[in-house]
Structure 1
Amino acid sequence: MAALIHTHSNLIAGLEDLWKETVGEPEICVAVLDGSVDLSHSSLERATFTQLDPLVSNISTQGSAAQHGTHIASIIFGQHHSSVKGIAPGCRGLLIPIFTDKKGGGIAPCSQLDLARAILLAANHGAQIINISGGQLTSSGEADSLLAHAVRHCLEQNILIVAAAGNEGCNCLHIPGALPSVLVVGAMNAAGIPLDFSNWGEKYRAQGILALGENIPGAIPGGGVTTSSGTSYATAIVSGIAALLLSLQVKGSQTPNPQAIRAAILQSAIACDDQPAPDCRRLLAGRINVKGAMSIILQQGEVMSENLEVATIQPVPTESGKPPPPLAQAEIPAVEVASYSAPSSEVIPQGLQNPGSSLQVQEQITPSAISPAACSCEGGGGTSAQAQLIYALGQLGYDFGAEARRDSIQQHMGEGANPQDPQQLLAYLEENPWDTAAITWTLSLDATPIYAIQPFGAYAERGYERLRQFLREQLLEGVERISVPGVIVGQVMLMSGQTVPVIFPTLRCMYSWTTSALIQAICGNAPAESASTQDREAYGQRCQSVINFLERIYYELRNLGITPQERAINYSATNALNVEQIYECAIREEMDLDTIEVEPSPLCRPDSECWDVKLTFFNPRQVFQQARKVYRFTVDVSDVCPVNVGRVRSWFVR
């Protein structure tokens, strides 16, 4: 079997020139969101990886998902002394398994929720490039708000997401490839012709690139090399090239700039005008042009002033002397699993219920075969990352994990009892508190579980008592939200088959509240009926302003509580003190809330991580006459329980 270097150096003009400059700098971190990876393979033994806990259960090291993940990882990180010579072997890898095996064979999809979680974890652990060799077919190009938020967060943090265009062979879109700021990758053959199965679409014309996706060599779990075709493998090639271009910036003393790399790749693409194709729509923005992108990066760094010749893709003759023809779709086994199993939730509401469970079925993503400031990588092989802090908001729920557990509790509750009825279950647990730990307690957003909550240690009993209290308050007192701080430790499968991360909670900052209770804490008691109309109207205005702030966080800014910014904004929703001070001033000046933003704080204590929550207000009656007013307060999120630092600051801006 030919080594990868032989294939790529012959088929992609400019790769050898780029390798002469760099084979990857250890400062550059590439996250691979895929199946598990066999790090014992000879091509990966000396590569540098950090492994995060998988977001899926039943991880296999030999099944279809592992084959896909190992293949993708070797394309990027395969060492140049081995049989699979990767594109960027000197860069560091961050491995986050999101795919596992189906029962009966094939690769099981992951949900948009899990993909969003994986993207945020990658961003939080220092990834500059995130490779997603997968996607979900969609007619609208719209994603779930949590996934869209995660992608937007990467843009704000200057992290490049490289995702597959999909393998349906149609004028259609995949998520996340169709989302703004993502670099989407289609597949072509050695002659630069789009492969029959590679998708195209109008959005891809602005943000898509074609790369080699036919007969790509890669590592097999357990040893050996295979070849496969699909947009998955083209995506890994582009991620590797992007990592080399970032490394070139580092070598030239530039600050690594992933969005500049994306722009250079798209700007230098070989379009239909430069090299005609039967259907120009299928070229996306054009074919990958390593020399052209390399020239742009070098010019930006003032390392080289001369213009490099625009490269063309040279076909490699076969034994007959002719370029190999494109493979038919039926001959490419990897394409068989290169599709999403359900459309986006924006197109078809899921609403499907698992019998015996209230958990929603999630939108599914399948492969397209388809330390906070660093990658936390040390030495060869794999290392473990530090525990992930969480400060999440949501509603409390429960699950039994398995029918046997549910039936067992039902028998203990007595004949005719229904453990799915929270009031009946709560009454049983009040009499039998030892069974509280037999329940899987969940935190949900809009009826979708995002975490399981599992108290532990000497005060676990107090933790389960707090959870029963929260459930009782939700049932009887109208509690709408709870806050759950803690760390992620593994995952658990629910009765629906969904796998969610487990939070070990910290009791001292677990809260429950109703909007009305927070309003009363902030605004005080309502004026008496004898109060003046002006006083009652002012109180109503103050209450409505607070409701606006809280609902913006609950719905518009809803999140998974993973990144420091998310933990800061979630904490601000539970801390009434800052909001009270801000709204007293804003209402007095007749101003309404415009935007809520989170920015790094210029002031922070040593060994802390501080973020400023910034609220901008405007006067709706004098939009053009009166300046906007900004209020900022600082939240330190370095501990599992965030804390306010300093006082509220304010100033006017134009």
Structure 2
Amino acid sequence: MGEVSAVTGLARLWDLTTGDDHIGVAVVDGPVDDRHPVFAEGKLTQPSHAWPGDADSGTSAAHGTAVAGVLFGRHDGPVPGVAPACRAVSVPVFARGRRTSQLELARAIELAADSGVHVINVSGGQLAGAEEAEDVLTRAIDRCRERNVLVVAAVGNDGCFCDHVPASLPGVLAVGACDEAGRPLPTSNFGPGSRRQGLLAPGHDILVAVPGGGTTRMSGTSLAAPIVAGVAALLLSLQRRRGDAPDPGAVGRLLLESATPCDTARLGDGTCARHLAGTLDITKAVNAVTTTSAPISSPDPAPAVDAGERAVTLSCGTTLQSATDGQGGCDCAADDVFVPAAVTAPTPAARPWAPAATAPAPQTGVVTSAEQGKPAARRLVYALGTLGYDFGTEARRDTFKQLMPPVEADGVSLPANPYDPRQMVDYLRENPSEARPLIWTLNLDLTPIYAVEPVGGYAPGVYERLTEFLARQLKTEDDVDFVDRVSVPGALPGRTVKLFSGQVVPVIEINLTRGLYGWSVAGLAHAVTQECQVPQHNQRGNDNDRARLTDAVSDFLTRIYYDLRNFGATSRDRALNFAATNAVQARQTLAEALGRGMALQNIEVEKSPYGRPDSDCWDVKLRFFDPDNSKRAKRVYRFTVDVKDVMPVTLGPVRSWPEA
């Protein structure tokens, strides 16, 4: 097949539309060489708070440039794309050798959704079933479903009966690859999750752009996914042209339902298993959109996700890669599916063409179309995690090694080890100014998610507190001063820092010590329990009640830290995280519920219908059930958090009511 323009049915669709700049498509992938002549000048934008992983040219940009070209390539350029007139957003994530973590992928998906796009393309993932996905990734996909953002993801190229996340997660449109005759590529995965919610699309010898201006041919599900994402964007453009509200979820269901099923009578169930739910049928999908005035697909709301029932998977150190890598831990052999042909020389051309009569694409991130030309507002963060530090470069590490005093061990003087946090704490206490050259990090499960940078007049005090928290993390868990969690309130200025490992993380600026807390789960649970009034039956009963309340507070905090862990960058997550640090607010709720013989079922956060003018109020709801009587009504407790400012505040008393 080769050229995207040869995909069956696409030429007719292009006669109707090549896209609409009000329909946004995000490419969550590696960095993109946006200077390539395949792209119109200024075509690709990034969310205000995205960060580049590497330079936008060279091998690190090969995968992202190929995928973005299939989606957005201008039609008078060397690689015509599927939806060149749609708004294009690039969110770099596969930057370190095309590998990243599920945590980083989740953050990139959330950034893409926050930029206001309708479709998100993910040509990468990790070999795992939906039940094995880390909760942060599952929750990012859940939020896309809630906001009616269609996520299109490649099923992977391991050639095995195996699933790939995020492709196998509920609500995602999974895409496998076939050749020009509709035969599945031998390397295209076909696990149960992909068969349930996936279809095949052309992915063999696709003409793609390569960094520097040339072109080549590649194969794999990474190239099939953007074809489907682009077709979805064009169908949304048709919806908008007809005066209908674009409905990404309905379009995703339509593409799945209109796919041509495999002929089991002719090929047999074994062969048809590789065809997933069918093969992309653009003509049938276009007919459904253009010939009916009724909704193109009956609403199929996503099932509610019970945070209290979701399994928690703590998988430190796992990595994802672009789907064309064909390496994800699967035992099945994978062919070399990312096969470049001879790279053609860059096409000598003027700066890329821009579509005529097209309004400027709205800026992404927090800037809306009505705010063109205004500076983007800084995004607030209230994040929870553990503290760490990094050197960034060998030179900075060696500087610390030379400046730190030697240590004595059994009467022998040994060179300082800057990686030993105990030695580092001692050095920083003697030399407080040396805390500034360090890169302080906030980590989730040992994975850095932010670089913490104190600024302003309170910076010395913040550095002192960071040093103290680092020292307290080294204490034993039974020590009253032990710290296993810190809260970091601040703002994202849009800058990034590259760590020694090569990972790039966004910077949080902190300009106040208020809200920068450190605590342990056991210590905080004990503290709030001691302040709570418990029934005075007898000493033994009193002690039992306190022990139960301590366990309940610990469960509440642990649920937030692990099952509901997040980046603290959305209003919803800031309210949830503040509820954890403000556990004293929840102690009355927990004590009353336990007094009723109930147990915590789940925690929900939803936008509050009430609030002061110019506020950002969210209701944190704790739902309890009776573990001994399933017929008994549940009980809901609610308190409201305003996250308008850097430091959130609670509003009003706790409210409670029974729920059938």
Deviations along 1:301-354, whole A, 9 cap, x unmatched? 42899xxxxxxxxxxxxxxxxxxxxxxxxxxxxxxxxxxxxxxx979x76xxxx
Q: CA deviation at 1:574?
A: 0.9
Give me the whole-angstrom Cα distance separating, in 1, the residues matched to 2:375 and 2:231.
26
Give me the whole-angstrom Cα distance separating, in 2, the residues matched to 1:382 and 1:195.
47
> Which residue, out of 585, 590, 594, partners 1:578?
585
Cα distance 1:262–1:527, how it changes in 2: closer, same or farther (>3 A)? closer
Cα distance 1:219–1:9, how it changes in 2: closer, same or farther (>3 A)? closer
Equivalent residue for 2:279? 287
Q: 1:622 is aligned with what amino acid?
A: N
TM-score normalized by structure 1? 0.82
Q: Does 1:522 pair with 2:528?
A: yes
TM-score normalized by structure 2? 0.81
Q: How does 1:29-428 map to 2 (within 5 A)?
A: 29-46=24-41, 48-52=43-47, 55=51, 57=53, 59-100=54-95, 107-138=97-128, 142-273=132-263, 279-298=271-290, 301-302=293-294, 361-368=317-324, 376=367, 387-415=378-406, 416=414, 417-428=416-427
Q: 2:380 is aligned with what amino acid?
A: L
Is contact 1:47–1:77 with CA below 8 Å preserved after alignment?
Answer: no
- For this pair of structures, how many residues does the alignment match? 591
Is contact 2:289–2:296 with CA below 8 Å preserved after alignment?
Answer: no
Is contact 2:620–2:638 with CA below 8 Å preserved after alignment?
Answer: yes
Cα distance 1:23–1:520, how it changes in 2: closer, same or farther (>3 A)? same
Give me the whole-angstrom Cα distance separating, in 2, the residues matched to 1:597 and 1:84.
46
Equivalent residue for 2:636? 630
The SS at the match of 1:613 is strand
Q: 2:384 is aligned with what amino acid?
A: L
Give me the whole-angstrom Cα distance separating, in 2, the residues matched to 1:299 and 1:592.
53
Cα distance 1:168–1:538, how it changes in 2: closer, same or farther (>3 A)? closer
Give me the whole-angstrom Cα distance separating, in 2, the residues matched to 1:373 and 1:643.
29
Cα distance 1:372–1:41, how it changes in 2: closer, same or farther (>3 A)? closer
Cα distance 1:606–1:25, how it changes in 2: closer, same or farther (>3 A)? farther
Is contact 1:440–1:453 with CA below 8 Å preserved after alignment?
Answer: yes
Q: CA deviation at 1:596?
A: 0.6
Cα distance 1:629–1:445, how it changes in 2: closer, same or farther (>3 A)? same
Q: CA deviation at 1:484?
A: 0.9
Q: 1:95 is aligned with what amino acid?
A: S
Give me the whole-angstrom Cα distance separating, in 1, the residues matched to 2:620 and 2:533.
31
Give me the whole-angstrom Cα distance separating, in 1, the residues matched to 2:455 and 2:560.
29
Q: Does 1:640 pair with 2:596?
A: no
Q: Does 1:481 pair with 2:485?
A: yes
Q: 2:284 is aligned with what amino acid?
A: G
Is contact 2:363–2:369 with CA below 8 Å preserved after alignment?
Answer: no
Equivalent residue for 1:560? 567
Is contact 1:34–1:367 with CA below 8 Å preserved after alignment?
Answer: no
The SS at the match of 1:644 is strand
Equivalent residue for 1:533? 540
Q: CA deviation at 1:598?
A: 1.5
Give me the whole-angstrom Cα distance separating, in 1, the residues matched to 2:606 and 2:386.
27
Deviations along 1:532-582, whole A, 9 cap, x unmatched? 333333323322222221111112111222332222211110113431342
Q: Does 1:451 pair with 2:450?
A: yes
Equivalent residue for 2:460? 461
> Which residue, out of 595, 601, 606, partners 1:599?
606
Cα distance 1:140–1:157, how it changes in 2: closer, same or farther (>3 A)? closer
Q: 1:363 is aligned with what amino acid?
A: T
Is contact 2:39–2:73 with CA below 8 Å preserved after alignment?
Answer: yes
Cα distance 1:504–1:585, how it changes in 2: closer, same or farther (>3 A)? same
Is contact 2:639–2:652 with CA below 8 Å preserved after alignment?
Answer: yes
Aligned sequence identity (%):
45
Equivalent residue for 1:336? none
Give me the whole-angstrom Cα distance separating, in 1, the residues matched to 2:313 and 2:553.
29
Give me the whole-angstrom Cα distance separating, in 2, the residues matched to 1:300 and 1:581.
56
Cα distance 1:531–1:403, how it changes in 2: closer, same or farther (>3 A)? farther
Give me the whole-angstrom Cα distance separating, in 2, the residues matched to 1:251 and 1:138.
39
The SS at the match of 2:454 is coil
Is contact 1:49–1:382 with CA below 8 Å preserved after alignment?
Answer: no
Q: Does 1:610 pair with 2:602?
A: no
Q: CA deviation at 1:115?
A: 1.1
Is contact 2:123–2:153 with CA below 8 Å preserved after alignment?
Answer: yes
Cα distance 1:644–1:226, how it changes in 2: closer, same or farther (>3 A)? same
Give me the whole-angstrom Cα distance separating, in 2, the residues matched to 1:619 and 1:649.
19
Give me the whole-angstrom Cα distance separating, in 2, the residues matched to 1:114 and 1:616.
30
Q: 1:285 is aligned with what amino acid?
A: A
Is contact 2:74–2:84 with CA below 8 Å preserved after alignment?
Answer: yes
